[in-house]
Amino acid sequence: DQQVKQNSPSLSVQEGRISILNCDYTNSMFDYFLWYKKYPAEGPTFLISISSIKDKNEDGRFTVFLNKSAKHLSLHIVPSQPGDSAVYFCAASARFGNEKLTFGTGTRLTIIP
């Protein structure tokens, strides 16, 4: 039972354009969402998060949008840079779920110079 889904295993984007990574969830108890970036053979690093009381959060080139009614969130990267090439995971947690993070399967983003 995959509670957090990233349906696109890979995405290629031209340098300078916008990258949009999508994530869907099924558990209505999730109220906090995070995006992580991961390079091969390394641990994930935190990018940006959003609480369910918001629908948008920005941090530099990264913006996360949350649509609670659709149980959908997306990560926008503008402009995309070659260093953004990595695997991106979305994760979710529930206030009454012992804070454990449930991860999606990841999307491999490739930025084409």
Partner 1 sequence: DGGITQSPKYLFRKEGQNVTLSCEQNLNHDAMYWYRQDPGQGLRLIYYSQIVNDFQKGDIAEGYSVSREKKESFPLTVTSAQKNPTAFYLCASISGQGLRNTEAFFGQGTRLTVV
x/- string (CB under 8 A) for partner 1, residues 15-44?
Answer: -----------------x-x-x----xxxx
Residue 111 φ then ψ, to 5°: -100, 125
Question: Cα separation of 78 and 31, whole Å?
Answer: 26
109: nearest Cα among 73, 77, 63, 61? 77
**Residue 51 found at the interface with partner 1 (CB under 8 A):** yes
**Residue 56 found at the interface with partner 1 (CB under 8 A):** no
Which of 84, 89, 92, 109 binds partner 1 (CB under 8 A)? It is 89
The residue among 87 and 111 lying less far from partner 1, judged by its C-beta, is 87
Which of 60, 69, 70, 100 binds partner 1 (CB under 8 A)? It is 100
Which of 26, 45, 67, 81 binds partner 1 (CB under 8 A)? It is 45
Would you say 91 and 103 are in contact if contact means Cβ atoms under 8 Å apart?
Answer: yes
Residue 3 φ then ψ, to 5°: -80, -20
The residue among 79 and 103 lying less far from partner 1, judged by its C-beta, is 103
Four-CA torsion 72, 45, 32, 26, nearest 10 degrees: 40
Q: Pinpoint the alpha helices (H) of the chain.
A: none
- Residue numbers at the binding site for partner 1 (CB under 8 A): 4, 6, 9, 32, 34, 36, 41-46, 49, 51, 89, 91, 95, 98-106
